[in-house]
A and B are shown apart, each in its own frame.
Chain A
């Protein structure tokens, strides 16, 4: 049974070996010149204005969480749509029940003002 894992072992060894090889080989080759630009988060991007550890509005989290819920909903719907024919009416009803429960949550979040920004 253990023989089946030999390819995985080889894969792990090659992966580790490759990483060590590139690091060691590159350190032998590249020149070391430090400057202020190199220490910035994005060497070639928008310059950061403030520290990243800052407080920002909790509404971002709220929107993010609502997004995750509906994102996961789609994850469920794709495989269902693919085998729609096999599941037939039973699958359709199950999906309607699932969507109904989600809509109840959606209505709840809406009425509670989770979608209002101010």
Chain B
């Protein structure tokens, strides 16, 4: 073996290796089986993801740097990988009926979902700018194709081209910022970067690099003013892909953001904290205000997800152990509520109904009370009403902001939650009060039932009894280099 590598390097990326093998397996099984056996492919994909999750579990309390300092296998990475795998599992479960209705190619679809998940996992583990970028590319390329998978659909094609062009452009900006950081420090390793930059005089070029990186990352989390692509892409993409994009891709981008800023640039915290403060406020407000007038559910959920990125940014601004814990918990809870809401929208897609419009929800309660009640719960959770998971998430985020002295940020966050209730409750109004609209009956496949159950269980249980999740997140944060660096930076000041 070449110098610097050891068998341990391969041991610590076992989940990623399993996932890679599983993705190839799905691709081969797809071409070797007949069309009738295709539904099994979804279960095979779920199996691959479950096995990956199982191989990930032993690394819950690991804290090592492997592969010549390219990857950190720590609690932080563990927690985020759990989020990605959970998101992928629920997404795959809700996809099977949609794939049939839209006549998508199942093999390619599942393979690309697995590839995107793989990229996300490397983004969460990467403590080197290069690893993070490669992970980001793996994820982004898979998403570009997934977005345009509805080939006869013009909107889907448009969304894919828009996402690809803007995505490539923003990646260029991010890479430009990264190359400047490398030029200033002579290293791409984030931990070395922090030590080298700490001893240097702060140059104007460093601030330019910072701004470029914020822009690139801002695009990925769809923060205003880098959000323009999100509504069109979310609307045009196949609905399960939209769900995966709005949860998985966003969580991965936040993992990358925390790695770069809290691990790599902790000494510039007083520069990037105000930047993210402004981004958070603008993102929340614009996202919520734009969502008010939407009549398309996917578009509304797109703006709502922009607003949620704004709330999550509060955790970044707080830049404390508590803030990062709150951020991670929120992202985990967001998986359940957002995917649950999308699962209901996916169910509305039948061979004669597109099911994207708010009016397609009309009278849902009278025909399908269970689905309507589930949707009601997800909407209240997204809005942040007390007994739900969404409330717990927001509570921690806002209290972290207050603890770090950002009282106004918390106030703006609370006001925004109040605004958001209007459009979440509007969905409920359509389901309960509007006249029934006819269409072919809604059927839920067994996989869809499992997906909805998982989402609902998560949103209910963690809303009432969040302690296990909170403890896991706190434990994960303890080993996160960013928190250590943040604490050092504070004492240094």
Contacts and interface: CB of A to CB of B under 8 A. Distances in A.
Main secondary structure of the interface of B (DSSP, over half): helix
A107 B31 contact: yes
Interface residues of A, number: 11
B2 A108 contact: no
Contact of B2 (A90, A104, A105, A107): A90
Contact of B24 (A87, A91, A101): A101
Given A101-B24, A104-B24, A87 B2 contact: yes
A38 interface: no
Contacts of A91: 2
Interface in A44-91: 86-87, 90-91
A21 to B, nearest CB: 35
Contacts, number: 21
A108 B33 CA distance: 12
A86 B31 CA distance: 38
A107 B31 CA distance: 8
Contacts of B27: 104-105, 108
Interface string B14-29: 0000001000100110
Nearest to B24: A104
A6 to B, nearest CB: 20
A107 to B, nearest CB: 7
Contacts of B31: 107-108, 111-112
B437 interface: no
Contacts of A86: 2
Q: Identify which of A87, A90, A108 gathers the most chain B CB atoms within 10 Å of its CB.
A: A108
Interface string B381-424: 00000000000000000000000000000000000000000000
B155 to A, nearest CB: 21
Contacts of A104: 24, 27-28
A101 B22 CA distance: 12
A91 B1 CA distance: 8
Contact of B28 (A87, A90, A108, A112): A108
A111 B2 CA distance: 37
Nearest to A112: B31
Contacts of A111: 31-32
A116 to B, nearest CB: 14
A112 B2 CA distance: 39
Nearest to B17: A97
A86 B3 CA distance: 11
A91 B20 CA distance: 19
Interface in B14-63: 20, 24, 27-28, 30-32
Interface string A96-118: 00000100110110011000000
Contacts of A112: 31
A104 B24 CA distance: 7
Given A87-B2, A90-B2, A107 B28 contact: yes
Nearest to A110: B31
A90 B24 contact: no
Nearest to A88: B1
Given A90-B5, A101-B20, A101-B24, 8 more contacts: A86-B2, A87-B2, A90-B2, A104-B27, A107-B28, A108-B27, A108-B30, A111-B32
Q: Which 5 residue pairs across A and B have the least CB separation, nearest first?
A: A111-B31, A90-B1, A104-B24, A108-B27, A108-B31
20 contacts: A86-B2, A87-B2, A90-B1, A90-B2, A91-B2, A101-B20, A101-B24, A104-B24, A104-B27, A104-B28, A105-B27, A107-B28, A107-B31, A108-B27, A108-B28, A108-B30, A108-B31, A111-B31, A111-B32, A112-B31
